């Protein structure tokens, strides 16, 4: 499994809320879910995202938007709408005591088609454990990828099919959102160029790719610069120099970070003992692992596990 696939394994559209609507201005949608990521596909029309920090981002036809926000935010037909009368909708399907399935905002049906309408698909993603955190840290609060018109037509057809609530409709939309998330992130990272995270850029580098895949697949193995260089078919000096230039840190320092991230996921997602986790990420004993983990994460493994298991305070909103 490559690093992106591994990081995405912790964030899925399993049972996610999918809303679809055709809206006539003036309208506003308020998002109050504590969702790690929210995806908005603008099929027709457009609007403006208004984040809690004051950020405004216009979106239009063909835009796929990913929002990583820890506070409620709005999508409106235009910023001035919130100051006047308008049709108001809210998505709050991951909050306590809420039971949501695929639905249409405000009961508005597909089919309205004029210059004044905006057609959207909105999906909110659930997360399990902490494996996805490393991915989210590389993303801005809002990213936008513009798709071809043919993609919008296909997405709309899939949403219409799911809206019929036929057998398998939830699974269809879940898989559709998972596919859309992977495609959107890959496109955004590709277009980001030098600003993309090092682990993504490294996958396209023939020297670094074997090492990154090795770290991800077998973090417990006793990797050395020599063994990694041999996998890449280059000298130790060339491998170490190229790795440090592209990744921003030496190979073994990066390996330690990968091991600590994997340990973090195991501590939060499993009940494995500390000694077992230590061995699974390449440490001979629990003491050495605990020392390294506290140095990198600021807490001992036991304290981190206790903190990750503590009930989270409800989001303000």
| pLDDT tens readout for residues 64-95 | 999 987 788 999 999 999 988 888 877 765 55
Rounded average pLDDT per 10-residue block, the chain, 317 residues = 68 61 83 81 89 91 86 91 85 54 42 63 72 78 80 63 64 77 86 81 88 85 92 93 91 91 88 94 94 93 86 46
Identify the pLDDT of residue 189: 86
Identify the pLDDT of residue 128: 63
Identify the pLDDT of residue 99: 45
Q: Are 73 and 52 in contact (CB under 8 A)?
A: yes
| pLDDT tens readout for residues 213-266 | 888 788 889 999 999 999 889 999 999 999 999 888 999 999 998 899 889 889
Identify the pLDDT of residue 26: 87
Helix (H) / strand (E) element for 46: namely none
User: 53-57 long-range CB contacts below 8 Å, 24 or more apart?
Assistant: 53/141, 55/141, 55/142, 57/142, 57/144
Count other C-beta atoms under 10 Å from residue 187's C-beta.
15
Identify the pLDDT of residue 10: 63
CA distance 213 to 196: 18
Helix (H) / strand (E) element for 88: namely strand 87-91
Assessment of whether the complete model's pTM goes beyond 0.85 = no
């Amino acid at each position: 499994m490559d690093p992106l696939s591994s990081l995405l394994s912790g964030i899925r559209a399993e049972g996610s809320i999918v809303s679809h609507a055709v809206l006539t201005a003036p309208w506003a949608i308020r998002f109050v879910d504590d969702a790690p990521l929210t995806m908005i596909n603008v099929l027709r029309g457009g609007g403006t995202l208004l984040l809690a920090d004051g950020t405004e981002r216009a979106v239009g036809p063909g835009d796929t938007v990913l929002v990583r926000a820890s506070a409620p935010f709005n999508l409106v037909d235009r910023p001035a709408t919130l100051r006047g009368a308008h049709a108001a909708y809210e998505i709050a399907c991951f909050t306590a005591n809420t039971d949501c399935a695929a639905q249409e905002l405000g009961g508005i049906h597909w089919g309205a088609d004029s210059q004044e309408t905006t057609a959207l698909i909105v999906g909110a993603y659930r997360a399990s454990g902490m494996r996805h955190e490393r991915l989210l840290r590389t993303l801005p609060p809002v990213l936008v990828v513009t798709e071809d018109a043919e993609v919008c037509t296909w997405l709309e057809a899939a949403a219409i099919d799911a809206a019929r609530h036929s057998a398998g409709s939830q699974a269809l939309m879940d898989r559709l959102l998972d596919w859309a998330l992977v495609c959107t992130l890959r496109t955004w990272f590709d277009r980001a160029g030098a600003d993309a995270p090092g682990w993504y850029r490294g996958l396209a580098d023939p020297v670094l790719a074997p090492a990154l895949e090795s770290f991800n697949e077998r973090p417990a193995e006793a990797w050395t610069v020599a063994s990694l260089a041999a996998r890449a078919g280059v000298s130790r000096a060339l491998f170490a120099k190229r790795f440090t230039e592209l990744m921003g840190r030496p190979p073994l320092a990066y390996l330690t970070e990968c091991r600590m991230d994997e340990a973090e996921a195991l501590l939060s997602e499993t009940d494995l003992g500390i000694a077992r986790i230590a061995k699974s990420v390449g440490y001979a004993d629990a003491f050495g692992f605990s020392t390294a983990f506290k140095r990198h994460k600021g807490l001992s493994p036991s304290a981190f596990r206790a903190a990750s298991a503590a009930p989270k305070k409800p989001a303000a909103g």
